[in-house]
Amino acid sequence: MNAPQDKVEMVDLAIGGMTCAACAARIEKQLNRVPGVEAAVNFASERAHIRFSPQAANVEALVATVSKTGFTATVARDDTRAEEKARKEAAYRKELRLFWYSAALTLPLLAQMLWMFGTGAEMMAEPIPRWLQLVLATPVQFWIGARFYRGAWNALRSGGGNMDVLVALGTTMAWVYSTTVTLGGWHHQHVYFEASATVITLVLLGKVLEARAKARTSAAIEALIKLQPQTAHVERDGKLFEMAVEQLLPGDVFVVRPGEAMPVDGEVIDGTSSANEAMLTGEAMPVAKAPGDRVFAATVNGDGLLRCRATGVGAHTLLAGIIRLVEEAQGSKAPVQRLADKVSAIFVPVVVSIALVTFAGWWIFSGDFAQALVNAVAVLVIACPCALGLATPTAIMVGTGQGAKAGVLIRNAEALELAEKLQVLAVDKTGTLTEGRPVVTDIIPSMPAQGDRLLNLAASLEQGSTHPLAAAVVSRAKEAGIALAMPQAVTAVAGRGVAGTVDGIRVRVGSPAWFAADGVPVPAETKTLQERGRSVVVVTADDVLVGILGVADPLRATSREAVARLGRLGVEVVMLTGDNAGTAAAIAREAGIQRFEAEVLPGDKASAVSALKTEDDRARHVGMAGDGINDAPALAAADVSFAMGAGSDVAMQAADVTLMRDDLNGVADAISLSRATLRKIRQNLFFAFVYNVLGIPLAALGLLNPVIAGAAMAASSVSVVSSSLLLKNWKPGKE
């Protein structure tokens, strides 16, 4: 940003009036000139995503900046989405009407040209008098084509050029020449009314088709929005009232009947049922719901009646967060787009120069003014950079939308691009490879009949901890009906364990390595348990061994398959865990992982990720999959970070990619989607560049008629968008 500040705000503006990538580049340039502003303008989504310092700028100033550039801007919010869609639909209908008017006026001119071309008739045999050709072509040029003149004027006024400049300049040259010939009575000269009118008509057709295709690229967002229920059954004073979802407040109690969609996020307080959460996770299997479980807006209730308490309403539901995340990703720019942006910035001046050289060259060497003019017009028309501007953003919009459908939320286009390059994936063990819900499987006291005392001391000390192993110990003690004491002076040693006082006894609970370092002998059974994949918890009282607990966290059913898929994608999986080497080896063996690092403290995982990047003195792209919160330093150190099954705003902000399911297959899906999207982007850019690289020389050499050039230009934009839409064929679970 131009002027870094402590506080940064963000706003999205809906931009109206853009016709090509050059328009987006110009708006972006003007916005970024404002102190404290960092803006990215997306031509395909017609949005500007802006980060700004409130001390240096405000929303009104940003809107004014866009207006001065010659475009319209309104703040895009959740409550204005319907209004924005209606405005776009009205603009589309207007353009469609103008196209039909233009087509009706142009068709006689085009038919005459084709008739003369087919019969070889001379100019004197023109079936439509020239005065009538002038009458037909003039409203197309100046009424229907007025949008091109407005766009060109706004572009030139702000010191830039765009597609409108090329179209307006090319068609005006053809119309002025033809009008001069007609009014001057020079019947021996050709006229090109059909060229100017047909080019405008074809460009309008291209815009109409492009608008329809672009609307389909945001189909994923539209589908998510349509899922949001409009009403809810709210319980007040023991009675049910139907009210608009917008009126619900956190804490309100609502009832969801069988088959209905959840109106907002909430927590079940009464009833049992199941919910279809496929729209969030991509997983078709229903999820059981009971008191204490979370429910999410727009998920569908099964065959039970649920009473729930609202916890997230309006913009604070998980669905609203997903929509925001997808919109931000669709509006962001991938690094691969930088080349196209640089080309677009200088494209129009270069093309105008080529057209002038073409005109001068043909006039000087052939002496045919009309032919020189026609070839210059063809250069201007064929060179419109629409396809170049649509190549990247349309593919990103479709790709991120497909990811959202599959429960893979990609935060920005840069993450989507980098995921393709991953060579190594570091994974946390607990909650990523394993279920994340450990259970106590073995209780081995040092003295016979001391099992309850062992559980009592360990669970009493651990009851304040949020660590999964601690939760397993406390849960087992409660299942056994053991009363727990309140611990005193509890201190935690990261990656080691917990110490404190229970009923006046100094108790320590932790890993075998912690005690071994202090010279406390551990039972021989420790190694046996570790070899069986158990995490061992040692318990001492006043430095005397009380016993050990074996805790197992079962491997997820999908982890081995996911590791195999990643291997087929050429990605090496490396497990990082704080567990001992024996347990780590057992889990790695079960998951099919060849490399692992054991006894890695939480604070050292980031260093481990950094080391993987430069291993063997060669730079490698490394990803990290974890829970999105506890592994935050390691996630930040990775090139691309994946938060597993987060379902929370915190996790969505912590990672580059949020996986809505607790399944490592989501990482493989993200990499597969990234590769498919980048292939499509490169394909689009290749054809967009080739189209111009081949088209401009052909036009300059006199091998392209302006009418053919106009048709080709319109077709190129539509073909690029249609090509991007083929990404909808991508499905999760495939390499």
User: Which residue is it, tokens 């209004």?
Assistant: 83
Of 657, 604, 598, 612, the closest CA to residue 633 belongs to 604
What's the distance, CA 22 to chain centroid?
23
Pairing of strands 287-289, 424-428: unpaired
Cα–Cα distances (Å) from 176 to 86, 180, 191, 193, 591, in that order, read 38, 6, 10, 9, 74
Phi, psi of 547 (to 5 degrees): 155, -175
DSSP track, 570-585: T-EEEEE-SS-HHHHH
d(CA 55, CA 196): 50
Three state DSSP letters for 505-546: EEEEEECHHHHHHCCCCCCCHHHHHHHCCCEEEEEEECCEEE
- Cα dihedral: 203, 209, 215, 217 (round 10): -100
Pair 40, 332: CB distance under 8 Å: yes
d(CA 194, CA 140): 10
Q: In what order do the strands lie in the sheet with 231-236?
A: 239-244, 231-236, 253-256, 306-312, 265-270, 294-295
**Neighbour count for residue 488 (Cβ, 10 Å):** 12
Q: Residue 596: beta bridge partners?
A: 575
Pair 41, 51: CB distance under 8 Å: no
Angle between helices 386-405 and 318-331 (to 10 degrees): 160
Handedness of CA 420, 421, 423, 424 (dihedral sign): negative
Q: Would you call 238 helix, strand, or coil by DSSP?
A: coil
CB-count exposure of residue 684 (10 Å: 0-12, 13-18, 19+): buried
d(CA 48, CA 11): 8
How many C-alpha atoms does 252 have within 13 Å on its Cβ side? 25
Catalytic one among 428, 553, 627, 631?
Answer: 428
Tokens of 580: 């001992």
**Neighbour count for residue 230 (Cβ, 10 Å):** 9
AA letter at 302: G
d(CA 360, CA 597): 71
Pair 633, 606: CB distance under 8 Å: yes
DSSP track, 128-186: S-HHHHHHHHHHIIIIITHHHHHHHHHHHHTT---HHHHHHHHHHHHHHHHHHHHHHT-
Q: Residue 644: beta bridge partners?
A: 659
Helices (H), 595-639: 605-613, 632-637
Of 423, 409, 422, 466, the closest CA to residue 645 belongs to 409
d(CA 574, CA 422): 13
Phi, psi of 70 (to 5 degrees): 105, 15
Of 44, 79, 49, the closest CA to residue 66 belongs to 49
Cβ neighbors of 519 (< 8 A, separation 6 or more) are none
Pair 8, 376: CB distance under 8 Å: no
Q: Is 428 a catalytic residue?
A: yes
Q: Catalytic residue numbers?
A: 428
